[in-house]
């Protein structure tokens, strides 16, 4: 089954299906549970919750389970999720310092001499925050790269640009479900399933690869990367 067919099958498995898990979703669930039951249960739980029409929080709760599935995905290859400090934990102290800064300004908008030291210290704090953000993003990317390579198993690595595109895509989906779980925005069932299908396709391609589909998927990714660079 090629990637287009896989996505089409996953898209057809809507909440109106008589069973939560059928076809490719059943295959993905079984592949996840074989490696780590907890990750499989996050996935199945999300599919059960999102079907609950009487639950006004269904999509947000399902998004939380998908976020947990992706966060705990390293367990699939026997690794623990890298512990990283949350952005708010780092941003809070810097925000407090900024509110307490209250620098004095000249009529022309320049800093008065007694404020320069405070402003310089604030700029150093901001630089440290941004450096941490860059390092944290790289840590997340490295962990995702390790995960996807381990799921693929020994063999020929994907071209670096294709691999980076795949990593970025899965990280984007993880951020989407994280933000949705935190009520950062609202989403329709159609949007939820569209995003879910994209993430499912990557995971299933890694967990249950089919040689012919792999080459077609690589060709498709190479074409996407080529088109994006034009």
On whether residue 61 sits in a domain, the answer given is yes
pLDDT tens digits for range 30-83: 999 999 999 999 999 999 999 998 999 999 999 999 999 999 998 888 876 655
- Whether residue 138 is contained in a domain is answered as no
**How far, in Å, CA of 177 to CA of 30, rounded?**
22
Phi-psi region of 102 (alpha: psi -120 to 50; beta: other; left: phi over 0): left
The whole-number pLDDT of residue 15 equals: 45
- Domain-located, residue 134: no
Whole-number pLDDT of residue 16? 42
What percent of the chain is modeled with pLDDT above 70? 71
Q: Is residue 215 part of a domain?
A: yes
Count how many domains the chain has: 1
- Domain extent, residue 56, equals 3-82+145-229
Q: pLDDT digit string (tens) for 133-148?
A: 788 777 778 888 888 8
The answer for residues whose C-beta is within 8 angstroms of residue 55's C-beta and 6 or more apart is 49, 61
């Amino acid at each position: 089954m090629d990637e287009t067919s896989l996505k089409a099958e996953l898209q057809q498995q809507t909440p109106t299906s008589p069973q939560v898990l059928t076809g490719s979703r059943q295959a993905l669930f079984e592949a996840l549970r074989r490696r780590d039951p907890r990750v499989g249960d996050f996935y199945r739980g999300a599919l059960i919750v999102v079907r609950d029409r009487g639950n006004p929080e269904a999509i947000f709760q399902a998004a939380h389970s998908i976020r947990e599935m992706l966060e705990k995905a390293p367990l699939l290859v026997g690794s623990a999720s890298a512990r990283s400090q949350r952005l708010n934990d780092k941003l809070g102290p810097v925000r407090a310092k900024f509110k307490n800064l209250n620098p004095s300004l000249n009529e022309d908008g320049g800093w008065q001499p007694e404020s320069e030291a405070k402003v310089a210290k604030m700029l150093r704090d901001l630089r440290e925050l941004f450096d941490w953000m860059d390092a944290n993003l790289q840590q997340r990317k490295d962990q995702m790269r390790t995960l996807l390579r381990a799921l693929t198993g020994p063999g020929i690595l994907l071209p670096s640009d294709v691999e980076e595109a795949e990593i970025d895509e899965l990280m984007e989906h993880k951020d989407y479900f994280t933000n949705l779980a935190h009520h950062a925005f609202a989403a329709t069932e159609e949007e939820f399933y569209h995003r879910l299908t994209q993430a499912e396709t990557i995971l299933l391609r890694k967990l249950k690869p089919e040689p012919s589909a792999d080459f077609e998927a690589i060709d498709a990714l190479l074409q996407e990367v080529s088109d994006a660079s034009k």
